[in-house]
Structure 1
Amino acid sequence: MRATRRSLTPAEQQQAALSLKKKFSLNLSLKYSKRIALYLANDGEVSTHLAIKQAWKRGQQVYLPVLDPIRKGFLWFVQYQPNCRMRNNRFGIAEPDPRFNKRINPKFLNAVGLPLVAFDACGNRLGMGGGFYDRSFEFCRQASVKPKLFGLAHRCQQVKSLPVESWDIQLEEIISV
């Protein structure tokens, strides 16, 4: 599935980014969320750059995942603004530098767009295998107030079915473009 999404042409990727922006503007949970977390596309993932710019125009606060330097396997969420200081993490992925940008507890996010490798019609998500999002949002199992979790994917990433593990966090919706 990773090879499939990497094989998309630049034109297909740009069209997917435009479609995602449009779907974000139609999804009320995303459109009216004050604090949203997204990601910067890597390895052929659906690009969120247009959706992020749209969120900034609406006055939304945008946060990106940052590898937690204290608790291995967890994520911090750090505010992302135009021209904020960035750094590359150990995987070579750009992330806002937490020394210079505001961090938020994931419990206070309103909506989160998660990258994925594959998904099925039941809303199950296959990630990159590190469990970062599952660990970071494990509190959602018990919390009455929690962020809405959305998987973001290209349509070509849909598979017939995926195995579900006890630690997998359920997504509210998959937005495929």
Structure 2
Amino acid sequence: MDRASLRKQLRHNRQSLSAEQQLAAAKKLSSVVCGSEAFRQSQHIALYLASDGEIDPGFIAEAIWRQDKFCYLPVLDQEQPDRMYFQIYRPDSRMVENRYGIAEPELDLEKTVKPEALDLVLMPLTGFDEQGNRLGMGGGYYDRTFAFLAKSSKPILIGLAHECQKVSSIPVADWDIPMNGVATEKQLYGAQGQ
């Protein structure tokens, strides 16, 4: 199956989950992620706000704040459409909608952090395989932002997904940046010892 067809099928899978299934999955995901070595050893953690049926990392954000860690969200640059920043996110952050209708902190370059300064990035995805390959929404934001990881080992990248988004193999493109692992409501794939 090509990437576009696979993306459509897997988006349908996650959009088909009921509100109750989504909430239960988000709670279980929080236990899986917050119990991981990667989370425990990280101070600067980026995540995303769920949309389009994505698994919700909201409970993870609450754990980050409770543990006095630093939480960041991706923010798209309105002037340079292919550019993504990471900005500090707190419960009282002033939020605006980006061009995709997703809430994000109002861009303030003084509150952004370089991607290299993050310890852990919890990434959204459309599909994944156990080899650490990720199928995103097709915008390439994460692949461009973390292209430097070809020569660096920080931050750790862990995709977040519903178990129903797992496939045996994701078709890989040259520009795809592999993840260190994927966390679902059931388990953490890869990333052991990270």
Per the normalisation by structure 1, the TM-score is 0.95
1:161 to 2:169 alignment:
yes
One-letter amino acid of the structure 2 residue matched with residue 167 of structure 1: W
Residues in 2 aligned to 1:71 and 1:43: alpha-carbon distance in whole angstroms? 24
Deviation, 1:100, is 8.5
CA-based RMSD of the aligned residues comes to: 1.3
One-letter amino acid of the structure 2 residue matched with residue 161 of structure 1: S
Provide the residue aligned with 1:16 in structure 2: 25
Check whether the contact 1:5–1:157 (CA below 8 A) recurs between aligned residues.
yes
Provide the residue aligned with 1:110 in structure 2: 119
Partner SS for 2:179: coil
Partner SS for 1:22: helix
Check whether the contact 1:79–1:101 (CA below 8 A) recurs between aligned residues.
no
Per the normalisation by structure 2, the TM-score is 0.87
Q: Deviations over 1:39-70 (max 9, x none)?
A: 00000000011110011000110000011234
User: Which of 65-74 and 53-62 deviates more?
Assistant: 65-74
1:151 to 2:178 alignment:
no
Identity %: 43
Q: Structure 1: 5+ residue runs without aligned partners?
A: none
Q: Structure 2: 5+ residue runs without aligned partners?
A: 1-9, 186-194
Instruction: Give the alignment of 1:117-128 within 5 angstroms.
Output: 117-128=126-137
Residues in 2 aligned to 1:101 and 1:113: alpha-carbon distance in whole angstroms? 22
Check whether the contact 1:35–1:110 (CA below 8 A) recurs between aligned residues.
yes
Partner SS for 1:3: helix
Check whether the contact 2:47–2:73 (CA below 8 A) recurs between aligned residues.
yes
1:44 to 2:53 alignment:
yes
Check whether the contact 1:113–1:151 (CA below 8 A) recurs between aligned residues.
yes
Residues in 2 aligned to 1:87 and 1:156: alpha-carbon distance in whole angstroms? 30
Deviation, 1:152, is 0.4
Provide the residue aligned with 2:84 in structure 1: 75
Provide the residue aligned with 2:6 in structure 1: none
Residues in 1 aligned to 2:83 and 2:108: alpha-carbon distance in whole angstroms? 18
Q: Measured at CA, do residues 44 and 101 of structure 1 come closer, stay the same or move farther in structure 2, by a change above 3 Å?
A: farther
Greater RCO (Cα-Cα under 8 Å, separation 6 or more) = 2
Residues in 1 aligned to 2:117 and 2:157: alpha-carbon distance in whole angstroms? 13
Provide the residue aligned with 2:188 in structure 1: none
Aligned residues: 176
Residues in 2 aligned to 1:147 and 1:100: alpha-carbon distance in whole angstroms? 20
